[in-house]
Amino acid sequence: MLTYIIRRLLLMIPTLIGVTAVVFFVMAFAPGGFGGNVLNEQGAQTEGDEARRIREYFERRYGLDQPAIVQYGRWVNQVSPVGFLNTSQLTFTDEQMQAMSDVIAADDLLPKLGTPRALDDLVLNMAKYKDIEPTDAVSVVRELLVDVDAGLAWIKQLSPNILERDLNRVTKAETKLNQQRELRSLLQSQLAGRQRILFSRPAIKWPDLGQSLRGRKVTQMLAQAVPVTVLLNVITIPIIYCIAILTGIYAARHRGKWFDIASGFTMIALWSFPVILAGVLLISYLANKQYLWWFPTAGLHSLEADSMRFLPAFTGNGFERGYLLDTIWHLVLPVFCLTYGGFAVLSKLMRGSVLDNIRSDYVRTVRAKGVSEHDVLFRHVFRNSLLPLITVAASIIPALFVGSVIVENIFSIPGMGKLGVEAAFMKDRELLMGTTLIGGLIGLASEIMRDVLYAMADPRVSYE
């Protein structure tokens, strides 16, 4: 069993690479590229030059001027727990920094080129970029800055898409000193933020999902969002299974009776009812002051939730909801939306499975033993009928996550679905890749879980 699980876990890796690759290349080949909406969020208008600067910055930071396959390789390297370090993960010791500063200070280049800080940065970036000692970087920088042509050639090599206009700024500068100055600032802007994988430095590291275009770490954002979605699903799944199993058994026992037919019909109807319509109607009628104001419209907690006691209580001010009840109160509508469509399929499955089992040979044997109907149903049939429901669990968990995309967006619940949709709207590549990865992981993990559960429930299955 353990070896089986380990094998399955290892098999997840190529699948996950496939999953992320599909999504990545879908984005990579799209017109407009990614990140455009950052400009949008920075205000409706961005002057052309600034927009270009921002775009360039992101291109450098995420390596967008590289071929898509290289970009993807970088992303995989960044996510993989075993991989190569990149320049941003490299640090210099204080001694190294000091040594470099000394070299710069001793050099006559310094006074000619303006503020020390900027040169410092340039050399440091160069050292990181080329993965050389900072002191060596000083001489590289000095050579490049003295020979403007060599410097320009290197910049062109560094970023092939650089605008002619920027290069012209260097060549058209009047004095040699100005040329060097322009070259320095150009080099600096090209080096900064550009991350290079250091193939010389393989390491075991924490998986890094990168930084969202909005500046936050993707892992951080996911850490906030995933528990919310998980909470929704952890509540929803047992409810779905409970209702499905109960109605399934009841319908099977009363096969052909009115309950069976009515429940079958109702189930298909519920299954067909679009969640979006349900959400809109629920919000508009059950959470609207003009009609029935029974439930809140949005979010997971009230604003005052912080200062609430945990359990409901009667105090001097009358009834106080308490944190627990408040959360449950907020969860009613979203959970309802997630639930009602889910148990249709399951219930039908349960009904069929119970029917199959009731007619099966072993049930006849059990009956022939003199076991009571109730025991036949709940001891023997029940457990065997659950097996197909476990099989379906692997597909129902991802389906629920899909469902929560809609529900979270309707009820403004800050979960993974909302994050994913926002990411797509913003064309936030790193965030979208992060959500895809998590989504894929959940899908694959639920498959493994399904197999393990199945092995636990059905003694015939073993993975030895």
Task: Map the footprint of other proteins across residues 177-236, applying CB under 8 A.
Answer: 188-189, 191-193, 211, 213-217, 224, 231, 234-235
Site membership for other proteins, residue 51 (CB under 8 A): yes
Site membership for other proteins, residue 448 (CB under 8 A): no
Cβ closest to other proteins, residue 294 vs residue 362: 362
**The binder of other proteins chosen from 386, 393, 407, 455 (CB under 8 A):** 386
- Reduced to 3 states (helix: H, G, I; strand: E, B; else coil), residue 86 is strand
Query: Virtual CA dihedral for 111, 113, 117, 119, nearest 10 degrees?
Result: -120
Site membership for other proteins, residue 30 (CB under 8 A): yes
Site membership for other proteins, residue 257 (CB under 8 A): no
Give the integer Cα–Cα distance in Å for 114 and 11: 56
Residues 127-156 that bind other proteins (CB under 8 A): none
Cβ closest to other proteins, residue 140 vs residue 424: 424
**Six-digit token string for 169:** 């700024």
Residues 59-98 that bind other proteins (CB under 8 A): 61, 88
Site membership for other proteins, residue 56 (CB under 8 A): yes
- Maximum Cα–Cα distance for the chain, whole Å? 106
Residues across the chain:
464
**In which residue are the tokens 């979010």 written?**
299
Range in contact with other proteins (rule: CB under 8 A) among 37-45, 71-79, 102-110, 202-210:
37-45
Give the x-and-dash track for 394-413 against other proteins (CB under 8 A): ----x--xx--xx--x--x-
- For the bound state, the minimum distance from the C-beta of residue 49 to other proteins, rounded and expressed in Å, comes to 6
Give the integer Cα–Cα distance in Å for 456 and 453: 5
**The binder of other proteins chosen from 98, 132, 274, 294 (CB under 8 A):** 274
Site membership for other proteins, residue 167 (CB under 8 A): no
- For the bound state, the minimum distance from the C-beta of residue 71 to other proteins, rounded and expressed in Å, comes to 15
Range in contact with other proteins (rule: CB under 8 A) among 74-82, 97-105, 141-149, 282-290:
282-290
- For the bound state, the minimum distance from the C-beta of residue 456 to other proteins, rounded and expressed in Å, comes to 8
Per-residue b or e along 84-112, where b marks 16 or more CB atoms closer than 10 Å to that residue's CB: bbbbebeeeeeeeeebbbebbeebebeee
C-alpha atoms less than 13 angstroms from C-alpha of 298 in its C-beta half-sphere? 6
- For the bound state, the minimum distance from the C-beta of residue 316 to other proteins, rounded and expressed in Å, comes to 18
Site membership for other proteins, residue 126 (CB under 8 A): no
Site membership for other proteins, residue 425 (CB under 8 A): yes
Cβ closest to other proteins, residue 26 vs residue 153: 26
- For the bound state, the minimum distance from the C-beta of residue 1 to other proteins, rounded and expressed in Å, comes to 16
**In which residue are the tokens 């280049």 written?**
109
Give the integer Cα–Cα distance in Å for 118 and 182: 12
Residues touching other proteins, count (CB under 8 A): 144
**Helix extents (H) in 302-381:** 322-340, 342-358, 361-368, 373-375
**The binder of other proteins chosen from 184, 244, 443, 451 (CB under 8 A):** 443
Site membership for other proteins, residue 114 (CB under 8 A): yes
- For the bound state, the minimum distance from the C-beta of residue 87 to other proteins, rounded and expressed in Å, comes to 11
**The binder of other proteins chosen from 3, 93, 115, 175 (CB under 8 A):** 115
Residues 305-364 that bind other proteins (CB under 8 A): 305-308, 310, 323-324, 327, 355-356, 359-364
Cβ closest to other proteins, residue 199 vs residue 291: 291
Contact by Cβ (8 Å): 62, 429: yes
Backbone torsions φ then ψ of 257, nearest 5 degrees: -80, 175
Q: 443: closest CA among 58, 15, 71?
A: 15
Give the integer Cα–Cα distance in Å for 75 and 92: 24
Query: Per-residue DSSP letters for 92-118?
Result: --HHHHHHHHHHHHHSTHHHHT--HHH
**The binder of other proteins chosen from 1, 42, 102, 199 (CB under 8 A):** 42
Cβ closest to other proteins, residue 37 vs residue 391: 37
Q: 330: closest CA among 397, 409, 412?
A: 412
Give the integer Cα–Cα distance in Å for 122 and 145: 11
HEC string of 21-42 equals: HHHHHHHHCCCCCCCHHHHHHC
**The binder of other proteins chosen from 83, 248, 334, 439 (CB under 8 A):** 439
